[in-house]
């Protein structure tokens, strides 16, 4: 087997320790050694660069390519899959080698990446967004027509549910379709014009059924949860991660700490909604108004969660905003009180732990899969990080 050694660089190993000079050796897709003076059959000169573990984005929508209703309904059905291939490649070039798709991508997209038909980060997929009638995932419009964000098809079954029995059926249907994680709306949202992000959706009984179904199949649940009570309902039901977490109060934070619940903040999401509106995207006035209302309270909630020690993993909601701008989230996390090292931990080893890849990805350590990102200059220069990515290796193969 060929041994490839990355020499002359500085290593951020994913644990939060300060970057330090070291070589990294990979063989057969696995990291076999990290240390000084190592050798190999092939050498990659990393002088002046820092090596990072492959980065994670725990909340993306790879079939989404921005906001607005008309582009979605005017494109041919299959066009979304070609857009997904482009979006995945754009994300991989940032050094993001693993993503969790939070509704939209089906099993075919995941398998196409795994089989090497298209280049992109490895995928965990939720397939559909479980929502009640009138909820955040309900595409009903005042005209009476229904246009959900992700149009159902055989690989992406309808995910609307009302009551425990329908929740059970939808959970099983999504799991059958290949879902690695189940995503549920426990509150309204910013992008759904007729729902309020502060209001709760689904009863505790419905959420208990969902979590039970997921756990029986060894799966976790992620919750679109923005309003306070909906966040608490999700945490009490045993949902693994809160996505967004806009209106956190002290009790919600205490519950998350007690239950070990993760927060995936997606701070850049409302920022991207506001930007899209300013750029002329066709968005309902209510959506733009809500985005402006939540931006600062969202940041304040994340600051308090960080200060309290809530477990944080990086996610962006890319697809709502442009793919390729994912790393903007790191600077926003830093502005919420996280140290630069903690931001990178949230984007590497902590994210790996959330997604069940602990001990496999997220660190530069022997025995871990060889996802390596070579970054020129200061790895804590989050504003310049995207432009400083020199090479991206995935499972020991140079991808970028």
Cβ neighbours of residue 37 closer than 8 Å, sequence gap 6 or more: 23
Three-class DSSP category at 2: coil
Interatomic CA distance for residues 144 and 181, integer angstroms: 31
Q: Which residues pair with 284 in a beta bridge?
A: none
Which of 23, 106, 138, 317 is catalytic? The answer is: 317
Q: Would you tell me the crossing angle of helices 107-114 and 79-92 to the nearest 10 degrees?
A: 50
Given a contact cutoff of 8 angstroms between Cβ atoms, the answer to whether 322 and 343 are in contact is no
Three-class DSSP category at 204: helix
Task: Name the token pair of 391.
Answer: 């090479």
239 C-beta neighbours (distance < 10 Å), count: 27
Q: What share of the chain is helix, strand, coil (3-state, %, to 5)?
A: 35, 25, 45
User: Is 290 an annotated catalytic residue?
Assistant: no
Which of 183, 232, 290, 371 is catalytic? The answer is: 183
Interatomic CA distance for residues 180 and 390, integer angstroms: 31
User: Is 317 an annotated catalytic residue?
Assistant: yes
Please name the residue that has the structure tokens 């993306």. 60
Q: Tell me the C-alpha to C-alpha distance, in Å, between residue 162 and each of 26, 120, 141, 165, 168.
A: 50, 36, 19, 8, 10
Phi, psi of 133 (to 5 degrees): -55, 130
**Which helix (DSSP H) or strand (DSSP E) does residue 95 occupy?**
none
Phi, psi of 146 (to 5 degrees): -120, 120
259-284: buried (b, 16+ CB within 10 Å) or exposed (e) per residue? Answer: eebbbbbbbbbbbbbebbbeeebebb
Q: Taken in order 265, 267, 268, 270, is the CA torsion positive or negative?
A: positive
Which residues does the annotation mark as catalytic? 183, 317
């Amino acid at each position: 087997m060929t041994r490839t050694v990355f020499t002359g660089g500085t290593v951020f190993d994913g644990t939060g320790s300060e970057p330090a000079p070291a070589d990294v050796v990979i063989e057969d897709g696995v990291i076999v050694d990290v240390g000084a003076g190592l050798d190999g059959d092939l050498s990659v000169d990393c002088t002046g660069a820092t090596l990072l573990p492959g980065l994670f984005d725990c909340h993306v929508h790879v079939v989404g390519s921005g906001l607005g209703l008309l582009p979605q309904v005017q494109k041919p059905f299959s066009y979304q899959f070609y857009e997904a291939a482009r979006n995945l490649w754009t994300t991989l070039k940032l050094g993001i080698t693993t993503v969790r798709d939070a509704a939209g991508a089906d099993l075919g997209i995941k398998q196409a990446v795994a089989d090497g038909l298209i280049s992109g980060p490895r995928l965990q997929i939720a397939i559909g967004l479980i929502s009640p009638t009138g909820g955040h995932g309900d595409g009903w419009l005042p005209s009476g027509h229904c246009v959900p964000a992700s149009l159902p098809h055989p690989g992406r079954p309808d995910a609307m549910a009302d009551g425990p029995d329908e929740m059970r059926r939808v959970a099983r249907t999504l799991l059958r379709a290949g879902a690695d994680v189940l995503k549920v709306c426990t509150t309204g949202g910013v992008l759904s014009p007729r729902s309020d992000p502060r209001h709760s959706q689904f009863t505790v009984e419905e959420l208990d059924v969902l979590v039970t179904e997921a756990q029986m199949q060894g799966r976790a649940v992620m919750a679109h949860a923005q309003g306070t009570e909906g966040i608490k309902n999700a945490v009490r039901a045993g949902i693994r991660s809160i996505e967004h977490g806009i209106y956190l109060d002290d009790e919600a934070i205490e519950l998350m700490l007690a239950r070990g619940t993760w927060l995936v903040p997606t701070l850049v999401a409302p920022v991207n909604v506001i930007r899209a509106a300013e750029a002329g995207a066709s968005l309902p006035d209510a959506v733009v108004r809500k985005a402006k209302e939540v931006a600062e309270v969202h940041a304040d909630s994340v600051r308090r969660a960080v200060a309290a020690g809530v477990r944080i993993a990086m996610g962006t909601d890319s697809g709502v905003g442009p793919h390729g701008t994912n790393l903007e989230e790191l600077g926003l996390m830093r502005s919420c009180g996280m140290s630069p090292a903690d931001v990178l931990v949230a984007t590497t080893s902590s994210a790996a732990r959330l997604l069940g890849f602990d001990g496999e990805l997220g660190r530069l350590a022997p025995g871990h899969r060889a996802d390596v990102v070579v970054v020129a200059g200061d790895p804590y220069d989050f504003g310049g990080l995207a432009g400083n990515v020199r090479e991206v290796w995935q499972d020991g193969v140079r991808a970028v």
